[in-house]
Structure 1
């Protein structure tokens, strides 16, 4: 398996053992960043929400959340996280801290970056479905060494369209639920939904994707 295929397998939460692809708890856990990644995605938001609810001080909540995020980033660097990812993580922390603390900012702005990120993923995935080059199909193509011909198979194309649609639904649902909470200034509730609709839903989407595409993978494997 080439590096691109291995990367695709990780993104899809798949385990590659002696050329045989499968899904298990370990592979799904790896896809969401392992236990460290799960804690990293939950703890800063949880701290932000709890401290804000108790102190009503945005500055204190932001400092606490940003500090914890910075510690996790340092741990990832120590564990030889790619430099580009580390830089992106640092920029993300800075933006999340800046938005609520800028002039005219509010506590809920801590979550603004997430809206843009979800919006970008949603747009890319949706466009891929509309132009009939579903992202999931592209990733599976990398796995099985079939970059184009899968599009000529109507059954495969339909499966990949639906599988990609699962991810479109994930990112769309986050925005549909969370953006109204932002405009209603329901910051604590927004934080709760940010956590609930994070890793748990992501893992469910990985499992649903596997159910939809495993036949296509096994045909070639």
Structure 2
């Protein structure tokens, strides 16, 4: 005779990894707008997040291009990251993104100053891109494509898409699209880095940063959209996607 009460019908994770994936995906910043499309601005961290991501690198590029003074460019870049951190402290807003930003800028500045080569300001980004590519390829191989986790929760699918071959395949394709974006960054920027073309490298880093990421995310969203609306249990059909 079963010891479970009739009300105990809440779906349980099949294993620890499933539960961890659910928790991680549930914390993502992706959301849909009223028209059902992905909110790209929110996905990029909002206007403040974009500014915190772009401006330190822009300051470095502008100052170095004008003065050819590496120290001045590094000071300007780090100072801009510090300003963002101070503003968040003053406004008592979450510090995670600002702390990550200033840590990245400070490490990049340290490497460039230690080596005396301006192009090394961008070296960390290559390792970061390579790590993201490796993680996303691994997620596809394990049948947990990253964009399935992110988009699945934005679409109220949870992780149920893994039980549907067509949805799993769609999210694999979507993840490959984002991998292609990051691979394109390396393909374009690494030759500029090795050639010591700092101005061109800095410009490409900005152009292939948030704008290209947002474009790739949007294409991945369109490619992976369900053929028929995904309806959570007990909910009314959503015809906006």
* TM surpasses 0.5: yes
Q: Any residues of structure 2 matched to 1:1-221 within 5 Å, and which?
A: 7-8=27-28, 10-11=29-30, 13-15=31-33, 22-23=36-37, 27-102=39-114, 104-143=115-154, 144=156, 146-147=158-159, 149-215=160-226, 218-221=229-232
Q: Does the C-alpha gap of structure 1 residues 72 and 216 become closer, same or farther in structure 2, counting only changes over 3 Å?
A: farther
Instruction: Measure how far apart 1:174 and its partner are.
Output: 0.8
CA distance in 1, matches of 2:90, 2:228: 35
Residue-by-residue CA offset, 1:75-117 (whole Å, 9 max, x unaligned): 2344444344443333212202101111x33001111111111
Root mean square deviation of aligned Cα: 2.5
Residue-by-residue CA offset, 1:111-162 (whole Å, 9 max, x unaligned): 1111111111111011112232211112344443543x42232211110001
Structure with higher helix content = 1
Q: Does the C-alpha gap of structure 1 residues 79 and 166 become closer, same or farther in structure 2, counting only changes over 3 Å?
A: farther
Instruction: Measure how far apart 1:68 and its partner are.
Output: 1.0
Structure with greater Cα Rg: 2
Is the CA contact 2:151–2:221 (under 8 Å) kept in the aligned structure 1?
Answer: no
Extract unaligned runs of 5+ from structure 2: 1-21, 233-241
CA distance in 2, matches of 1:217, 1:63: 53
CA distance in 1, matches of 2:60, 2:84: 15
Q: TM-score, normalised by structure 1?
A: 0.83
